[in-house]
Amino acid sequence: MAGHAPQHYDILQNDKYGRYLVANKNIDSGELIFTDTPFAFGPKPDTCPICLGCYAAVEGRLCSKCGWPICSKECESAPAHVGECDVFRAANVRFQPTDDWTAASPQLDCITPLRLLLAKEKNPERWQREVSTMETHTEARKQRPSWAADQINVVDFLIDHCKLGNRFDKELVQSVCGILEVNSVEIPSRGGFSIRAIYPQLAIAAHSCVPNIVHSILQSNYQVQVRAAVSIKSGDMLHLCYTYALSPTIVRQDFLFDSKFFKCECARCADPTELGTHLSTLKCQKCDNGVVMAVNPLDGETKWMCTEKQCAFKTSTTAMRKMLAVVQADIDQLDALEPGPQAIEQREATLNKFKSVFHPRHSLLLSIKHSLAQLYGRVEGYEIDELPDIVLERKAEFCRLVLNTLDIVMPGESRMRGMMLYELHAPLMFLARSEFSAGLITQEKLKDRLQEPINCLADAARILSREDPQSPEGITGQIAFQSMEQLKASIESL
């Protein structure tokens, strides 16, 4: 079987998980478990028109042969585009541009399913062995609006308009849509827009909201590398997190049910405190000391109640969903701001506005603090060497809060940990130097205090060196290594 090292894991099967992966040897943290090449990749549903060769914005340019979005002569001959180009030319089916090149284009919904079908023709053995057995959840999908949309935009379009009825049947095309909906992974592309890909081995890994494996995508060929995030014992199941790890339980559960058609029942989802992280916990508005938590988080319609015995406050999951959606919309607006002084000030104002509503470690506040940890020291008016100690301390506090949360919900070596360790080194370094210049600590104590930022940089460099060298994380890893060398040299010259 191409693409992975069989000595590291076995594929088992049961009723709960279907097929899943189990380590068949002890695996060290950071160790490569397997690599996997995508069976097919291409645009996600609801993408705006992007180049079908490199996935960059196209602004009105079309392929000279088939008339579909392509940004350059070079991309016209991109291997991924050639197959569909032949299909569209033969059927004389051209892309119909609209006035707005930034709006979602349902016309592109057919591209990735078509690529999966063409890959099936080209590599029938790999299709049979690795892809045809993937879960499609056909009955559940039939109940959803996306089924009818796929029928029109993908199935009928490819079979009737593109005249592919002699090569594929409609049932197969619908099941390819199902394979993509249930199993594809969103990945970054060279062109800047995220796309989706089918990785046959990665798709077998079961989900947990506390994963023990992580994956990195190499953007040159979209190969995925899967590593152990923590030490894994022989016989342990390999778990990937299919959701954003710092989301609250309601949001993770809804996402998994809507996109992957299952209900997660992991230990984190079952615990109202989310393993003590309080990512879902609210402050009680009725009494002073109480916090509000789900009575039974695994029940989608559970009551939420105050923990104080004498307080009778309770609310519904429906009300909770509404409130989370409203606050999330506020945060999405913050995330749309250009990185500048306003981006910091508006986030601080939003934290202030909601601090009496949510537990200080709640997911929504944590996501704002995570952004602030990255913005402080990087934007005009808040450059790192100009930050007063109190703001340096705030940056360090936010970094530590994110890192302490990751220790529990995403333990071990992950991209996010690498990036946060890099952010943490700067305030620690500047605070130590500022105390030394103020005469508060001796030179020996300064050397001692600079050990922690060196360790942060060493860990960040090690973790991020596994990322694509052109990605923001890969570049940060290289900077972390250089900064560590410089800091060591400056300590030696003290």
Contacting residues for 274 by C-beta, under 8 A, at least 6 apart:
248, 249, 268, 280, 281, 409
Over residues 471-488, the mean pLDDT reads 96
Residue 255 lies in a domain: no
pLDDT band at 454 (very low <50, low <70, confident <90, very high): very high
**Are both 297 and 384 inside the same structural domain?**
no
pLDDT for res 440: 95
- Among the candidates 191, 224, 251, a domain finishes at 191
- Among the candidates 311, 336, 362, a domain finishes at 362
**Are both 335 and 412 inside the same structural domain?**
no
Task: Give yes or no for a contact between 348 and 312, defined as CB atoms under 8 angstroms apart.
Answer: no
Residues 268-313: pLDDT tens digits? Answer: 999 999 999 999 999 998 998 899 999 999 988 899 999 998 898 9
Domain count, the chain: 4
Checking if the pLDDT of 1 tops 50, the result is no
**Are both 51 and 144 inside the same structural domain?**
yes
Over residues 169-192, the mean pLDDT reads 92
Residues 56-71: pLDDT tens digits? Answer: 999 889 999 999 999 9
State how far Cα 425 lies from the chain centre: 24
What element of type H or E holds 438? Answer: none
pLDDT for res 6: 53
Residue 253 lies in a domain: no
| 31: three-class secondary structure by DSSP | coil
Over residues 72-99, the mean pLDDT reads 93
**Are both 185 and 61 inside the same structural domain?**
yes
pLDDT for res 4: 46
**Are both 275 and 171 inside the same structural domain?**
no
**Are both 169 and 119 inside the same structural domain?**
yes
Which two three-digit tokens encode residue 274? 């989310």
Length of the chain: 494
Residues 13-67: pLDDT tens digits? Answer: 998 888 899 999 999 999 999 999 999 999 999 899 999 999 999 988 999 999 9
Checking if the pLDDT of 238 tops 80, the result is yes
pLDDT for res 74: 93
**Are both 179 and 45 inside the same structural domain?**
yes
Range of the domain at 103: 40-191
pLDDT for res 191: 86
Over residues 450-473, the mean pLDDT reads 96
Over residues 373-389, the mean pLDDT reads 94
Residue 298 lies in a domain: yes
Counting residues of the chain whose pLDDT is more than 70, the rounded percentage is 99
pLDDT for res 192: 84
Checking if the pLDDT of 259 tops 90, the result is no
**Are both 470 and 438 inside the same structural domain?**
yes
β 206-207/239-240 pair status = parallel
How high is the mean pLDDT of the chain? 93
CA distance 51 to 57: 6
pTM: 0.90
Task: Give yes or no for a contact between 391 and 382, defined as CB atoms under 8 angstroms apart.
Answer: yes
Could you give the angle at which helices 363-375 and 317-335 cross, rounded to 10 degrees? Answer: 10
Which two three-digit tokens encode residue 414? 């992950």
pLDDT band at 2 (very low <50, low <70, confident <90, very high): very low
Residue 1 lies in a domain: no
Lowest-confidence segment of 4-8, 441-445, 470-474 by average pLDDT: 4-8
pLDDT for res 60: 85
**Are both 46 and 186 inside the same structural domain?**
yes
Task: Give yes or no for a contact between 292 and 284, defined as CB atoms under 8 angstroms apart.
Answer: yes
Let me know how many helices (H) and strands (E) the chain has, helices first.
Answer: 17, 14
Residue 424 lies in a domain: yes
Residue 154 φ then ψ, to 5°: -115, -65
CATH number of the domain encompassing residue 236:
2.170.270.10
Residues 183-233: pLDDT tens digits? Answer: 999 998 888 899 999 999 999 999 999 999 999 999 888 999 999 999 999
**Are both 144 and 31 inside the same structural domain?**
no
β 314-316/303-306 pair status = antiparallel
Residue 184 lies in a domain: yes
**Are both 71 and 103 inside the same structural domain?**
yes
Residue 431 lies in a domain: yes
**Are both 448 and 405 inside the same structural domain?**
yes
pLDDT band at 320 (very low <50, low <70, confident <90, very high): very high
Residues 134-167: pLDDT tens digits? Answer: 989 999 999 988 899 999 999 999 999 999 999 9
Residue 311 lies in a domain: yes
